[in-house]
Amino acid sequence: MSNYLIELSLVHLTLILGYWLFLKNERQYQKMRFYLLGATLSALTIPLLKLPRLFSNQQEPIITTVIPLDAATLTATPAASSWPRDLLIGVYLVVSVFLLFRLLSSLFMMFRLKHRSKQHHFNGLDICKIPKVNGSFTFFHWIFLNEDIDENRLDYEAILKHEKAHASLGHTYDLLFFALFRVVFWWLPSAWFVDKEIRKIHEYQADAYALKWCHIDRYSSILISSTLKSNGLSLASSFHDGLILKRLNAMKQQAKNVSPWKLGALAALGTLLVVVFACTEDMDPRSNETVVTEGEVFEKVEEQPFPEGGMEALYQHVAQNMRYPLKARQMGIEGKVFVEFVVEKDGSLSQVKTVKGIGAGCDEEAVRVLQSVPPFKPGSQRGKPVRVRMVMPIVFKLNHGKTNPDNSTQGMIIFDEVETMTSRLKVDARYNDGAWSGIVYDEDGGQLPGANIMVAGTAAGTVSDLDGSFKIKADHANDLYISFVGYETVKLAPQ
């Protein structure tokens, strides 16, 4: 979720910056309006898109193995308080609820005004006459007028033309959309800028529409002489808006087409954002992986990655940073968490995730600490650095009968040795049309992600997906080996 918010913020801020640089002073109001709507919709959707990478890195194989750790034990301490995060979430919710309340109050006020108004039709328009409200404004297709505005006044028709433009162009829908966007993303400066800018564009559009039937001198006089007081109705579009000088200046300027180079620059900017934030998926991310599992397969890796300072340094780092989650201790949760990560060619750790966990915060804690581990000495093969996928088993175990000062059960965290052939995997697989496909299950029948699948006699392999499924091409003469730490390797032969 946090990644989505970060990417949304960057996309929206970048697109609105493009508007400010290239479109803000233009007079093509319809294009400007559509750009602001499109930019906000793009910011909401681009981080959700998962498109194929334009520049794939599939040619660099990842070798998978298991860290052969010696047993080490440490006593867990209570988890650190998360009050700063809770405080931020609380502030966010308070402000969002306040803004949502204001929005709902404005909607309620508008419908209440409509219910109390005297409604009649004039030249095909729905007119709502209301007392004690200054000037005029539009909400959806309803045009609200102060009951003191006389139909015989010279400015009556000009006001109606202006308000009719707001209704026919659907400006209320824009205001509702940006108001909801601001409720959720109120901390984003561009959300407030867009809301202000769209209101200005609405008035410019309505003025341009009214000027088709009214001379500019007369219309300017009507605008200047009108009562320019705020109605306090944030969802209404009004002839009596406070942007008088800007509107008068805009009316006197002739609209020109936006320069093609500006449109091209904005199109390139949008394309770049899609490439950066949406094109993140490999078409077949495991098709070129080299998978090394147990036994003789380790010979595929000439030199394994190794923690800088040795295993003792790794133990010490984890011991100083890992906490047995309070929730898990209170619930009596214990068990083994398998953490998988990739040691990159520069020794840094990436793609840290659990392939099998126990929940209650233990999985997240194990991932958090492994993400903070200092760089390894990278693995190598044929004298060249290679990316190596590693699996680290960590056991969370409770000391039943012993409690901490907070009355929670004491626990231990154990860096387990690689287990040997204690259980046998269950595999539902078949060979068809030159490929193996199937699902890997653990001893309890649960779908097992992260199991290593290797074609015998080759360097081709893959890893089972989150639902335990896999598919890999293989020659009919080659057997298939399926393994996972703590389980006996399964050998399958084509029939």
For residues 349 and 373, is the Cβ–Cβ distance under 8 A? yes
Query: Do 103 and 170 share a domain, yes or no?
Result: yes
411-441 per-residue burial string, b: 16 or more CB within 10 A, e: under 16: bebbbbeeeeeeeebbbebebeeeebebbbb
495 residues of the chain, pLDDT tens digit each: 667 888 999 999 999 999 999 998 888 999 999 999 999 999 999 988 877 766 554 444 444 454 544 434 444 444 445 567 778 889 999 999 999 999 999 999 989 888 888 888 877 778 888 887 777 889 988 888 877 776 656 677 788 888 889 999 999 999 999 999 999 999 999 999 999 999 999 988 988 888 888 777 777 777 766 644 444 455 555 555 556 667 767 776 766 788 889 999 999 999 999 888 877 654 444 434 433 333 333 334 457 777 887 777 877 787 778 787 888 887 888 888 888 888 888 888 888 888 788 888 888 888 888 888 888 888 776 677 777 777 777 777 776 655 555 555 555 555 544 333 346 778 888 888 888 899 988 777 888 887 888 888 777 778 888 788 998 888 877 888 888 765 677 888 876
Same domain, 126 and 216: yes
Q: Decide: helix, strand or coil at residue 412.
A: strand
Cα–Cα–Cα angle for 308, 312, 314, rounded to 5 degrees: 55
Residue 296 lies in a domain: no
Q: Of 398, 263, 264, which Cα lies nearest the Cα of 326?
A: 398
- Which pLDDT belongs to residue 151? 67
How much is the pLDDT for 486?
57
Whichever domain contains 474, its CATH number is 2.60.40.10
Distance CA 205, CA 168 (A): 11
Same domain, 103 and 234: yes
Q: Are 120 and 227 members of one domain?
A: yes
In this structure, the answer to whether residues 408 and 312 fall within a common structural domain is yes
Number of domains forming the structure of the chain: 4
Q: What does the chain come to in residues?
A: 495
pLDDT for res 231: 45
Confirm whether 194 is domain-assigned: yes
Q: Are 334 and 367 part of one and the same domain? A: yes
Domain end: 415, 437, 472, which one? 415
Do the beta carbons of residue 321 and residue 369 sit within 8 Å? yes
| Cβ contact 160:143 at 8 Å | yes
Last residue of one domain, picked from the residues 389, 415, 441: 415
Question: DSSP string covering 89-114, please?
Answer: HHHHHHHHHHHHHHHHHHHHHHHHHH
Do 191 and 321 sit in the same domain of this protein?
Answer: no
* 156 and 239 fall within a common domain: yes
Identify the CA nearest to 388 among candidates 286, 289, 280, 282: 289
- Give the per-residue pLDDT at 236: 58
- Give me the torsion for CA of 47, 51, 55, 61, rounded to 10°: 100
Q: Does 220 map to a domain?
A: yes
Percent composition of the chain: helix, strand, coil (DSSP 3-state, to 5): 40, 25, 35
Q: Say what the pTM is.
A: 0.54
User: Residue 291 domain-assigned?
Assistant: no
Residue 391 inside a domain? The answer is yes
Residues 72 and 189 placed together within one structural domain of the fold:
no
Domain assignment of residue 66, given as a range: 62-80+301-415
CA distance 164 to 170: 10
Do 195 and 331 lie in one domain? The reply is: no
Is 286 part of any domain?
no
Last residue of a domain, one of 363, 383, 415: 415
Q: Quick check: is 285 in a domain? A: no
Q: Are residues 70 and 176 in the same domain?
A: no
Residues 150 and 248 in one domain: yes
Query: Is residue 185 in a domain?
Result: yes
